[in-house]
Structure 1
Amino acid sequence: MTQEVGAFVPARTGGFICAMREGFYRYDPVSQAAAPIVEIETHLPGNRFNDGKCDAAGRFWAGTMDEKEEGPSGALYCLEADLGCRRVLTDVTISNGLAWSADNRTMYYIDSTTREVVAFDYDLGTGSLTAPRTAVRFGDDEGLPDGMAIDREGMLWIAIWGGGKVIRCNPATGARLQTVLVDASHVTSCAFGGERLDELYITTARQGLSERQLADEPHAGGVFRFKTATQGYATVPFGG
């Protein structure tokens, strides 16, 4: 693939569904061919897709961002199992983390520049969002919330860009429960894996770091693993 990939998920029919710069694509890892599903925001060449994830019904939620991070020109999209696509949220600057509660009645979402995790009432049957409210708020000195995962106790694990850490938070109270320090300042996302889903895999980036910073952070851009005391959930594949 020649396009930049913002997010991708496995498809139940095989291969992957990718959110790429120009829209959603189906990708065959054997032939390495990417077939377009739907084009998105072709009138906004400065936008690109960023983070994405599937809900329990197999819908692929993915959001766009202003590549220069200068304004709210992005949006959050939902690709349905029948390949229909709809725009759900607008006025987004850096679309990032997504997570759902175990009962699928709450969806959590991050637009990084707001420094908030927003909770919505969620209808799994229709994929509709209502009643937005702040679940977790980050101060100006904490870095920006980026990607996130949720564990089986309903707690959110939130990657902090510019903060060198992942913070476990209670979305009901906003309380910080645990901090996992990472040997890289730009922490981008996290996901549970391992045989028991009790290993947190943490991604980081080198983007925006000077040569001196890179010398101080030789592992920037690497993937880290942290053994947790709780379990998470496996990735949901795309498709009904």
Structure 2
Amino acid sequence: MLGRYTERTDTHVSPPGKLHHTHQVDSLVGAIAICENGDFIAGLREGISFVGRSNGSIRLLHHPEAHLPQNRYNDGKCDPEGRFLIGSTALNHKKQAGNLHLLDHDLQCTTQLQGITMSNGMAWSPDGCTFYYIDTPTFEVAVFDYDTATGRIGPKRSAFPIPEKEGLPDGMTIDNEGMLWIAHWDGWQVARWNPVTGEKLYSFRLPVAFVTSCTFGGENLQDLYITSASIGLNEKQHDEQPLAGSLFVIKNCGFQGMSPAVFRHH
């Protein structure tokens, strides 16, 4: 989930060089991923689209929820083989109104999961054969066997529950040791979890309540980037959390991420 609703997509951000460029896309942006050619693939309000990195051009590919105008696309990510998965949620928060879709190498779109309330974090095990997934209000991380050859997922199982005191599980990534990092909405933290035992191993506390997603970056994938939200805060909470909605980075966080996958198509 993005830190806050936005009508822009970043086309080139270089923290060391402090280079930051934007394109106006005039649409809600749920998630973006990088394509093999350097452009973006994005879940926009109007559907799954290519966004040109150099000029912001938009090419609509699929809108699998065109018949569901009450829905919007939310979190999305590429699997290890370069397919794009994007989930949805209802604008009015209706339960089980969302879905999870997969865009394959041939640009064909299929629905992988239905009856999702708030499609959020996704991560794959280091061997790519296990898919971890978060439907936020369930307070759990689900796990599926994943067929890397086809992108098909097996039956759902529960990997582990998230205690409510930790905050709602939102965006998610995985490190090179196979441990999951979860951003906790209303939890003031990003926490590291063992997906086999369900043990909370570590956490970074943040000065904001609504922590929304996390990913590893930097030259050696040892910097942890964290997004947050300010939506829904009252005036008092805004005063108490002046950094709400910010993008944070923990440099050399002590852990290392996995090399990110990019979208590949024929």
Question: Which bin holds the TM-score, normalised by the shorter protein?
Answer: over 0.9
1:33 and 2:64 aligned: no
Counterpart residue type for residue 234 of structure 1? S
Corresponding residue number in structure 1 for 2:22: none
* 2:101 counterpart residue number: 77
Which residue of 66, 70, 83 corresponds with 1:42?
Answer: 66
**Correspondent of 2:35 among 2, 5, 11:** 11
Which of 117, 121, 143 aligns to 1:119? It is 143
**Distance between the aligned counterparts of 1:68 and 1:140, measured in 2?**
22
2:181 and 2:160 mapped to 1: Cα distance?
11
Compute the RMSD of aligned alpha carbons.
Answer: 1.1
CA displacement, residues 146-205 of structure 1 (integer Å, 9 cap, x when unaligned): 001100110000000011101100000100000110111000000001111111100001
Q: What do the CA deviations read for 1:104-139 (whole angstroms, capped 9, x no partner)?
A: 110000000111110111110011111321112112
Deviation at 1:20, TM superposition (A): 1.0
SS in structure 1 opposite 2:236?
helix
Residue 154 of structure 1 is aligned with which of 178, 191, 194?
178
Residue 141 of structure 1 aligns to a residue whose secondary structure is helix
TM-score (norm 2): 0.88
Runs of 4+ more than 6 Å apart: none
Amino acid at match of 1:80: D
Contact preservation (8 Å) 2:222, 2:257: yes
- Counterpart code for 1:231: Q
Q: Is the 8 A contact 1:48 1:65 kept in 2?
A: yes
Distance 1:141 1:45 in 2: 34
Match of 1:231 in 2: 256
Distance 1:140 1:35 in 2: 41
Distance 2:157 2:238 in 1: 38
Take 1:117 and 1:20, find their aligned partners in 2: how far apart are those partners? 26
What is the Cα deviation at residue 27 of structure 1?
0.6
Return 5+ residue gaps in structure 2 as ranges.
Answer: 1-24
Aligned mates of 2:50, 2:32 — CA distance in 1: 9
CA distance in 2, matches of 1:83, 1:38: 8
- List gaps (5 residues or longer) in structure 1: none
> Contact between 1:143 and 1:162, CA under 8 Å: does it hold in 2?
yes
Name which of 218, 222, 225 aligns with 1:194: 218
How is 1:81-100 mapped onto 2 (pairs within 5 angstroms)?
81-100=105-124
Any conservation in 2 of the 1:136–1:169 contact (CA below 8 Å)?
no
1:119-138 → structure 2 map (5 Å cutoff) = 119-138=143-162
Q: SS of the counterpart of 1:152?
A: coil
Q: Percent identity?
A: 44
- The number of residues matched between the two structures is 240
Contact 2:64 2:109 in 1 (8 A): no
Are 2:79 and 1:55 equivalent residues in the alignment?
A: yes
Considering fraction of residues, name the structure with more strand. Answer: 1
Could you state the TM-score of these two structures normalised by the residue count of structure 1? 0.97
